[in-house]
Amino acid sequence: MGSSMIAENLNDIKNQIHLAEEKAGAKKDSVRLCAVSKFHPAQDVIDAFEAGQILFGENRVQEANEKFTEINTTLSGRGEKSLPELHIIGTLQSNKVKKAVAISSCIQSVDRIELLEEIEKHCSSLGKQISVFFEIHTAEDSKSGYQDETELFKSLERCAKGDFPHIIPQGLMTMAPFVEEEAPIRKSFITLRKLRETVNEKYPSLPIKELSMGMSGDFKIAIEEGSTMVRIGTAIFGKRDYQ
């Protein structure tokens, strides 16, 4: 997609986010936009960055690493001082954690305690702190995320005990079902918001404030239900070509 189209889409999405914030009684710019660039080329990210977008999300570590190495080289070569920020948002295999923590500032898709252990190990050896979100399974047709609250609580318990000093647990993330009707989508988002309340009561020492929910098709509903971060790909970069 051309740079002017990406800039226009970003502007359009930001306006829609502002309207949704207003409708939800949230402060202007309180909802952060994560631009999901998976399957789109480095140049599209650079175009979005030059239009003012800082935060990007990628699903696959290998793709993200190649793309963002290229992006950062290009931007540094032009004398850019600040570089894009990257969040990993896709299901993460343990053998990809080392690379994932090296290239990102946040793993949004933590779905098991073993992943926390792996993240801690690699961040500790890098001397780096990283943010994490816990991905929660809230919709029947999705496979990813903690399926079971007791498993989530076991992970949070370990965080609260101080077992993971290089990990900052900042939020919860979910994907709503891919359906037409609004009700099940909204239900998914409400589930996540209520779970954050439970988590804040049970683990008051953990800084879990963020709700990463809402994608191209449902971000307005998500913001109405209290989203603090929307992850939007298609509406910014166009359809993905999975070939």
Residues that bind ligand PLP (CB under 6 A): 36, 38, 59, 89-90, 175, 215-217, 231-235
Q: Of all residues in this chain, which one has the CB nearest to ligand PLP in the complex? A: 233
Nearer to ligand PLP, 75 or 222 (CB): 222
Least distance (Å) between residue 79 CB and ligand PLP:
31
Nearer to ligand PLP, 156 or 215 (CB): 215
Least distance (Å) between residue 160 CB and ligand PLP:
26
CA gap 109, 115 in Å, rounded:
10
Least distance (Å) between residue 34 CB and ligand PLP:
8
Burial call 11-50: b when 16+ CB within 10 Å, e when fewer: eebeebbeebbeebebeeeebebbbbbbbbebbbbbbbbe
Least distance (Å) between residue 58 CB and ligand PLP:
9
Q: At what angle do helices 113-126 and 149-161 cross, to 10 degrees?
A: 30
Burial call 132-167: b when 16+ CB within 10 Å, e when fewer: bbbbbbbbeebebbbeeeeebbebbebbbeeebebb
Nearer to ligand PLP, 17 or 89 (CB): 89
Nearer to ligand PLP, 155 or 212 (CB): 212
